[in-house]
């Protein structure tokens, strides 16, 4: 059992849970994730480890409430416990030493980018973060990222930072030159756009893929993605891959596999939890399976 020691609402649908998981806190490396099962009967879902406190033996899980499982997780309170957390899983981020990296975070993907930015900074890399949200309320992890480098905030409605998408800010940085690597983490269309943008500049671009998973150890093969035409498993070969080689169309397509099921499950859940801040998948603007990010 993993007790929840703190809970914080970061944006209208993103919640941070700090949970007790000492072993994972001790050994996790940037880029790794856990598989969480809230309790008996619950789904197993992959969630990124946004941060750890080794001394306290806790890890931070940043969860976007989209489907039933994520709504249930974010409905838990301090003092409640999560039954199962397995990990740390996935291949850690390959961290360069020195140079200049740009970390692009879209929505909840910003929380995935944060531990990477933090580790890069510790490695002597100059980090520029470009983070975005639909409006000011949706921007997360800004203060944490400011602690490791410059931050450019973009909002779709211009209510905060510069107006427009993260890709526009990224383009300007690419044109200015001197970038050794770009990390782009967020919704599939954003990662695809960032990868296409950096391709002509031949800047190495790493993305973190949020495939559907069950075990997270390579056993089910459900998370398969096509990298340079070859099938790989996001859970153990990834989740980070070269964005210039990812088949994003296939990824987006496979993420939609259970869309109807997820919509129905969410509707059942919201109707039995009247008053809960439930959204439809369409309102959330992405498939429920994109929960990892």
Partner 1 sequence: MDDLTLAARAAAKPEPLPKKERMKLLRGAMPEQDAMARARNFAEVNLGYTEQLAIMEADRCLQCPKPYCIEGCPVAVNIPNFIRLLGEGNVKGAADSLLGDNALPCVTGRVCPQETQCEQVCLRAKTGTPVAIGYLERFVADWAITHTDSFERATPAPSGKKVAIVGSGPAGLTTAGELTKRGHKVTIFEAFHAAGGVLIYGIPEFRLPKDIVQKEVDRLVDAGVEIRPNSIIGKTYTLPELRAEFDAVFVAVGAGLPVFMNVPGENLKGVYSANEYLTRVNLMGAYNPDSDTPVLHGQRVAVVGGGNVAMDSVRTARRLGAAESVCVYRRSRTELPARIEEVHHAEQEGVRFEFLTAPVEVLGDEKGWVSGLKCVRMELGEPDASGRRRPVEIPGSEFVFPCDMVVVAIGTRSNPLLTATSPELRINKWGYIEIDDNLQTSMDGVFAGGDIVRGAATVILAMGDGKKAAQNIDAYLRGELAAPAAVEASAAH
Question: Rule CB under 8 A: which residues touch partner 1?
Answer: 23-24, 27, 37, 41-44, 68-69, 83-89, 214-215, 217-222, 224, 226, 231, 236, 250, 253-254, 256-258, 261-262, 265
In the block, tokens 């998370």 appear at 223
Query: Given the complex with partner 1, which of 183 and 233 has the nearer CB atom?
Result: 233
Q: How far is the CB of 57 from partner 1 (least distance, A)?
A: 14
Q: How far is the CB of 106 from partner 1 (least distance, A)?
A: 23
Query: Given the complex with partner 1, which of 177 and 229 has the nearer CB atom?
Result: 229
Query: Given the complex with partner 1, which of 96 and 220 has the nearer CB atom?
Result: 220
In the block, tokens 């489907």 appear at 67
Q: Which two tokens stand for residue 44?
A: 């197993």
Q: Indicate the SS3 state at residue 162.
A: strand
Query: Given the complex with partner 1, which of 80 and 247 has the nearer CB atom?
Result: 247
CB atoms within 10 A of CB 204: 16
Query: Given the complex with partner 1, which of 147 and 219 has the nearer CB atom?
Result: 219
In the block, tokens 């509707």 appear at 267
Residues 6 or more apart in contact with residue 230 via CB below 8 angstroms:
none
Query: Given the complex with partner 1, which of 9 and 83 has the nearer CB atom?
Result: 83
Q: How far apart are CA 3 and CA 56, in angstroms?
A: 12
Q: Indicate the SS3 state at residue 148.
A: coil
Q: How far is the CB of 72 from partner 1 (least distance, A)?
A: 8
Q: How far is the CB of 270 from partner 1 (least distance, A)?
A: 15
Q: How far is the CB of 242 from partner 1 (least distance, A)?
A: 18
Omega before 88 within 30 of 0, i.e. cis: yes
Q: How far is the CB of 245 from partner 1 (least distance, A)?
A: 15
69 φ, ψ to 5°? -65, -40
Q: How many helices (H) and strands (E) does the chain have?
A: 9, 16
């Amino acid at each position: 059992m993993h007790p929840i020691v703190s809970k914080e609402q970061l944006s209208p649908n993103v919640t941070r849970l700090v949970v007790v998981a000492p072993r994972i806190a001790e050994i996790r490396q940037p880029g790794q994730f856990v598989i969480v099962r809230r309790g008996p009967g619950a789904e197993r879902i992959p969630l990124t480890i946004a941060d750890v406190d080794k001394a306290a033996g806790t890890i931070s899980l940043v969860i976007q409430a989209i489907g039933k499982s994520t709504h249930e997780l974010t409905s838990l309170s301090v003092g409640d416990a999560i039954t199962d957390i397995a990990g740390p899983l996935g291949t850690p981020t390959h961290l360069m030493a020195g140079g200049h990296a740009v970390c692009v975070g879209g929505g909840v993907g910003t929380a995935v980018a944060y531990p990477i930015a933090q580790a890069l900074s510790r490695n002597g890399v100059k980090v520029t973060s470009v983070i975005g949200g639909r409006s000011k309320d949706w921007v997360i992890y800004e203060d944490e990222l400011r602690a490791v480098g410059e931050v450019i905030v973009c909002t779709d409605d211009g209510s905060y930072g510069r107006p427009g998408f993260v890709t526009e800010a990224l383009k300007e940085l690419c044109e200015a030159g001197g970038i050794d690597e770009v990390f782009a983490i967020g919704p599939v269309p954003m990662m695809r756009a960032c990868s296409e943008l950096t391709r002509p500049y031949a800047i190495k671009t790493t993305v973190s893929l949020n495939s559907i998973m069950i075990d997270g150890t390579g056993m089910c093969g459900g998370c398969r993605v096509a990298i340079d035409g070859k099938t790989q498993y996001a859970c153990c070969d990834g989740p980070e891959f070269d964005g210039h080689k990812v088949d994003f169309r296939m990824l987006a397509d496979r993420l939609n596999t259970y869309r109807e099921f997820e919509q129905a499950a969410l509707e059942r859940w919201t109707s039995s939890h009247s008053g809960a801040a439930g959204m439809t998948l369409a309102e959330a603007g992405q498939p429920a399976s994109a929960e990892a990010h």
